[in-house]
Amino acid sequence: MDKKIVIPTDFSDTAKGAVDYAVAFLGNDKSEVFLLNAYEPPHMGSGMLISINDILEKESKSSLNGEIKRLIKENKLNGYKFDTISEHGDLVGSLKKWSKKIAFDYVILGTKGASGIQGALFGSNASDVINCAEIPVISIPHGYEYKGIKKILFTVDGKEYSGHKVVNELKFLRDTFNAEVHLVHVNTPSNKPYKENEDHMVFTLQRELGVADDQTQEVYNETAIDGLNNFISQNPDFDLVCMVPRKESFIFKFSKTKAISIGTKIPLWTLRD
C-alpha cells in the first residue's frame, strides 16, 4: 500500500482498537504510521498553566512510547515504521498543522458513541475530523475487529463528482482487497426532482466499477440516514461503508453538538471529492 497513515489516540480502548485495526488492515506493506496525541490543559490561571502543560507533554510522550511498546510486545509492528506526534492543542487543529508538514494519505479514527451506545453513533470529535480533513477518514467503531474487506458498500447521493478521485479510490479498495463493491441509493421525497440525475450516476458507477445489477439497491425512506441505517441493519455482512461527505448533502450532514447515526458497527470510509 505504501501510504502515510495518521491515527489520533487518547490511549483509550477505543483508540487502541483503531490502532489494532490499522495494523491488521495494512498487513505487511511499506506504510508509515503516525500516532498523534493532542492534549489540552484545563482552564486555570496562567502561572499554573505552564506547569500543567509540562506535565501533560511528558504524559503524552510517555503514553505514546507505551503504545509502541505494546505493539512490539504483541508482535503487531509487522516490520513497518511507527512514529509518534505529541501536540499541544485540539485534535482538529493538530491534524491540520501536521498535515501541512507530512502528506498523510489517511486518517484512521476510533469512535465511540456520545450516547454511550458503543459503535452506533459518531459524535462531535469524529464529525469535526471528517468535516475538516482533506483526505479520507476511516472511522472504526469501538470493539470492531478487522476480518478482512470482502464486501464494500458505497452510498450514492446522485451528485456529480468533480473529478476521478472517488472512483479511483473505490477501484483501489476493490483491487487491493479483491473485494466486491455494492451500491445503495436511498430515495427520499426531497430528492425526487433529481431522480433522473441519480439514475444516471448509478449507471455510470456500475459501468466504471463493474457493479452488477444484483449488487445495486434502491431503497425508499423519508430520510436518507434512516434508509441507510435500515438497509445496513438488514444487510450486516458488509465490511466497509464508503460515502462522500458533503456539507450540503441530504445523505450526510455533520454537527458539532449532535451525534449522527450512520449504521451499526461497520467501519466508515469517507472519501474526498
> Residue 119 has what pLDDT?
33
pLDDT on residue 121: 35
Separation of alpha carbons 264 and 118, rounded Å: 9
User: Which CATH number goes with the domain that contains 161?
Assistant: 3.40.50.620
The per-residue pLDDT for 167 is 93
The count of structural domains within the chain is 2
What's the rounded mean pLDDT across residues 161-171? Answer: 88
Spatial contact of 34 and 93, defined as CB atoms under 8 Å apart: no
Residue 131 has pLDDT above 80, yes or no: no
- Sign of the dihedral through C-alpha 27, 30, 31, 32: positive
Q: Which residues contact 34 (CB under 8 A, 6 or more apart)?
A: 4, 5, 6, 7, 82, 83, 84, 85, 98, 102, 104
Can you read off the three cell numbers belonging to residue 130? 471528517
Total-model pTM: 0.84
Confidence of residue 170 (pLDDT cuts 50, 70, 90): very high
Strands 180-187 and 151-155: parallel
The reply to whether 269 falls in a domain is no
Both 130 and 175 in one domain: the answer is no
pLDDT at residue 237 greater than cutoff 80: yes
Low-confidence winner among 49-53, 132-136, 162-166, 172-176 (lowest mean pLDDT): 49-53
- H helices of 4-45, in order, are 13-26
Among 128, 131, 129, 122, residue whose Cα is nearest residue 259: 122
DSSP secondary structure letter of residue 257? S
User: How does the average pLDDT of the chain come out, rounded?
Assistant: 81
In a domain, 272, yes or no: no
Q: How far apart are CA 96 and CA 260, in angstroms?
A: 23
Residue range(s) defining the domain that contains residue 182: 151-261
Based on the domain organization, do 124 and 217 belong to the same domain? no
**pLDDT confidence tier of residue 201, bands split at 50, 70 and 90:** confident
Q: Which residues of 201-234 are buried (b: 16+ CB within 10 A; e: fewer)?
A: bbeebbeebebeeebbbebebeebbebbbebbee
**Which pLDDT score is estimated for 124?**
57
In a domain, 273, yes or no: no
Q: What is the pLDDT of residues 205-222, one digit of tens each?
A: 999 999 999 999 998 888
Segment of 71-75, 171-175, 189-193 carrying the highest mean pLDDT: 171-175
- pLDDT, residue 43, reads 61
- Do the domain assignments include residue 198? yes
The 151-155 sheet, strands edge to edge: 81-88, 32-39, 4-8, 106-111, 137-141, 268-270, 240-243, 151-155, 180-187, 216-220
